[in-house]
Amino acid sequence: MMQMLTIQTGVALASRSDWTVLRPLLAQSVVQTLQMVLVTIVIGGALGLVLGVILYGTRPGNLFENRVVYRILDILVNIIRPIPFIIFLAAMQPLTIKVVGTSIGTTAAIFPMIVMCTFATSRLVEQNLVPVDHGVIEAARAMGASKLTIIRTVLIPEALAPLILAYAFLFIGVLDMSAMAGYIGGGGLGNFAIAYGYQKFDQTVTWTAVIIMIVLVQVVQALANAIAKRLLRH
């Protein structure tokens, strides 16, 4: 009896969904999601690239080998990267309040997203730099190129195609983080799906958010594949 009442309540709530009201909220949610994802990818991706190059460079036998620095950074990345983002959001709340001034809203969600993205990117960058042919690097060193010049003109260009694909994969992870940010009132499609879909038993709203996310991922992946394919041809 109780189960039937719950189902009937859900159906009644679902029937109340008014897309004249939801449509502008959906548009706002898409903008908030794009804001969170793009800011995180740009800042976290750039910081992660730097950290990843340092991880690669300090590995034994590489450009600026330093076992102590590599070990410290390696442990730090291994500690932070596996933490589920929803738990990481809660753990970062005191620091987020100090840095941003609040722990609720889109801006508050972006800060922990950047931190997590930085560490996730660093490992992806390191893994894609490791296969670069050491012979090419040694040839550049023999020609008198500085370490920074080798990184800028040899190392990163040689790994550019796989790095682009790695960043496309990163986009999916950041999009996933933006959805989870909805739990702390971070806005975006995650919050839209929870507040107006899940909590009101409206699968149409939920699947609208899901489909938009799928489209975003497909567009980014297609662009990354096309760019990487062109780079590999050259």
Any idea what the CATH number is for the domain that residue 31 is in?
A: 1.10.3720.10
Count the domains in the chain.
1
pTM of the model: 0.84
Query: Cβ neighbours of residue 36 under 8 Å, at least 6 residues apart?
Result: 106, 109, 110, 113, 174, 177, 178, 181, 186, 187, 188
Query: Cβ neighbours of residue 204 under 8 Å, at least 6 residues apart?
Result: 14, 17, 197
pLDDT value at residue 198: 82
**Three-state secondary-structure class, residue 168:** helix
Evaluate whether 166 touches 128 at the Cβ level (below 8 Å).
yes
Inside any domain, residue 14: no
Inside any domain, residue 11: no
**Three-state secondary-structure class, residue 172:** helix
The dihedral built from the CA positions of residue 210, 176, 111 and 199, taken in this order, carries a sign that is positive
Inside any domain, residue 7: no
CA distances from 115 to 1, 70, 96, 112 (A): 48, 19, 11, 5
The number of CA neighbours under 13 Å toward the Cβ of 51 is: 21
Inside any domain, residue 189: yes
pLDDT value at residue 137: 84
Would you give per-residue pLDDT tens digits along the chain (234 residues)? 434 334 444 444 444 567 888 889 999 999 999 999 999 999 999 999 999 999 998 988 888 888 999 999 999 999 998 899 889 988 998 998 998 888 788 888 899 999 999 999 999 999 999 888 888 888 888 888 888 888 888 889 888 999 999 999 999 999 999 988 877 777 888 889 888 888 888 889 989 999 999 999 999 999 999 998 888 776
pLDDT value at residue 14: 46
Evaluate whether 120 touches 45 at the Cβ level (below 8 Å).
no
Inside any domain, residue 219: yes
Inside any domain, residue 13: no
CA distances from 190 to 85, 152, 184 (A): 14, 38, 10
The dihedral built from the CA positions of residue 217, 219, 225 and 231, taken in this order, carries a sign that is negative
Inside any domain, residue 12: no
Give the Cα separation of 127 and 59 in Å (integer): 12
Rg of the chain over all Cα atoms, to the nearest angstrom: 22
Q: Give me the domain span that covers residue 66.
A: 20-233
Evaluate whether 206 touches 198 at the Cβ level (below 8 Å).
yes
Inside any domain, residue 6: no
